Amino acid sequence: MFTYVFKTLWRHRTRTLLTVSGAAVAMFVFCFVGSVQEGLHRLTAGADANRSLIVFQENRFCPTSSRLPEDYANKIRDVAGVKEVMPIQVWTNNCRASLDIVVFNGADPEQIQKTRPIKLTSGSWQQFASQRDAAIVGRNVAQRRGLSVGDQFSIGDVSVKVAGIFESTVPSEENLIYTSLLFLQYTRGLDAAGLVTQHEVLLSEDADPDQVATEIDSALRAGTVATKTRRKGAFQANTLSDLVDLIGFAHWLGYACVALVLSLVATTTVMSVQDRIKEYAVLQTIGVRPVRAMRLVLAESTVLCVVGGVLGTAAALLALSLGGFAIGAEGATIAFRPSLGLALTGGLVSLLVGIVAGLAPAIQAATVPIVDALRQA
């Protein structure tokens, strides 16, 4: 009977192609929105987000406004539960929300290699550690900016030589550029000698993050600059608060795309059934049972939706894989990446929507009065 279904769809090929293309576009948007939500979840709720802390200047937001003494690291190391402290100087070309944000993180090269989940795909750590103005660039940044090892890259007052390109198991890392701490501190125009933007604290396995955060702020209370210490995930969620609200609203856009596919496929299937109402009456006359007639219609709607959904999902995954898209604000970035979960969700949603869209026309085809249908001109 599948041969019959495909011949029926091909008989009205223009309508079929328009329906498939509409479903593909809607599922493309659905998967893109899903990728943004996955990126936000990874950034704010991953293992790295819950097992490390960020010490930032109190009541400051943009990285350029936070200026902490670098020697705070010595006091932080004395707090129980602290495994490692990495002073970081952050510089970004734009503190507002942007799709092409560039974020420099200046830190000790040895600590970067030791603590960051990154792997060089080209270049060398030795050159990065030995050359003061050298930088290692995340894969997504290199892809967007067309950078390769040996290139000179400048933005604003910062000019670096690319010593390596890296990839990471943490997608947001691939949107960063790492330099040495001293380079950013003494870059003309930044005036940050002896100062850092933040201290990143790695915790021991048995440490309570919230308790350690409180103790760090207490230990630094007598210092020249007041601090606010939070889990890395909470810090990034607060930093991206405006984008979090926007992404939450985009969640409803994903549902709207699913509703659009449902409406589109259901309308097409209803039109198909009404055009062939006599045909279904004939099928019942020659012995096709109502349940079989329902299965034929459900097969039509499911094929339309699944083909369109798979095409849209595949296009979205390909675009996400090749585009290296990210959005960021105030030095934090959300990476958009394809994933197996996203692919499975797209396929499953397409299948379910196809079945639901075909239920009403399938019942109509199965319950058509044979005599009345055959009398229609």
pLDDT in tens, 203-255: 988 889 889 999 999 999 888 899 999 888 888 777 776 677 777 777 788 88
Q: Judge contact between 180 and 58, C-beta under 8 A.
A: no
Instruction: Show the tokens assigned to 101.
Output: 């944000």
Q: Using CA atoms, how far apart are residues 130 and 116, in angstroms rounded to an integer?
A: 19
No. of H helices and E strands in the chain?
15, 14
Q: What is the pLDDT of residues 78-132, one digit of tens each?
A: 999 999 999 999 888 776 666 677 889 999 999 999 988 889 999 999 999 999 8
Place of tokens 């109402």: 277
In eight-state DSSP terms, residue 315 is H
Residue 251 C-alpha from the chain's centroid? 13
* Phi-psi group of 331: left, alpha or beta (phi > 0 → left; psi -120 to 50 → alpha; rest → beta): left
Q: Which one of 39-53, 227-241, 265-279, 361-375 scores highest in mean pLDDT?
A: 227-241
Determine the average pLDDT of the residues in 304-319: 92
Percent helix, strand, coil in the chain, to 5, is 55, 20, 20
Alpha carbon separation from 359 to 208, 257, 296 (Å, rounded):
53, 19, 11
Rounded-to-integer distance, Cα 279 and Cα 156, Å = 71
Cα–Cα distances in angstroms (integers) from residue 27 to residues 30, 204, 221, 324, in the given order: 5, 43, 52, 20
> How far apart, in whole angstroms, are the C-alpha atoms of residue 249 and residue 234?
20
pLDDT band at 160 (very low <50, low <70, confident <90, very high): very high
**Across the strands, what pairs with 167?**
119
Phi-psi sector, 59: left (phi>0), alpha (psi -120 to 50), beta: left
- Per the DSSP assignment, residues forming a β-bridge with 118 are 168
The owner of tokens 């936000």 is 40
* 52: β partners: 202
DSSP assignment of 305-330, as one string? HHHHHHHHHHHHHHHHHHH--EEEET
pLDDT of residue 94: 73
Residue partners of 287: CB distance under 8 A and separation at least 6:
none
Comparing 46 with 53, the larger pLDDT belongs to: 53
Burial of 163 (0-12, 13-18, 19+ CB in 10 A): buried
- The dihedral built from the CA positions of residue 338, 339, 341 and 346, taken in this order, carries a sign that is positive
> 75 near 258, Cβ under 8 Å?
no
Q: Report d(CA 97, CA 104) in Å as an integer.
A: 16
Element (H, E) at 214: helix 209-219
Determine contact, residues 94/156, Cβ cutoff 8 Å: no
For the segment 257-277, the average pLDDT, to the nearest whole number, is: 81
Q: Lowest mean pLDDT of 55-64, 145-154, 364-373, name the range.
A: 364-373
CA distance linking residue 350 with residue 30, whole number of Å: 11
Q: Using DSSP, state whether 128 is helix, strand or coil.
A: helix
CA distance linking residue 173 with residue 155, whole number of Å: 19
Burial class (CB in 10 A: 0-12, 13-18, 19+), 318: exposed
Instruction: Give the mean pLDDT of 175-202.
Output: 87
3-state secondary structure of 50: helix
Q: CA-to-CA distance for 273 and 5, rounded, in angstroms?
A: 12
pLDDT at position 377: 46
Confidence of residue 201 (pLDDT cuts 50, 70, 90): very high
Contact 240, 329 (CB under 8 A): yes
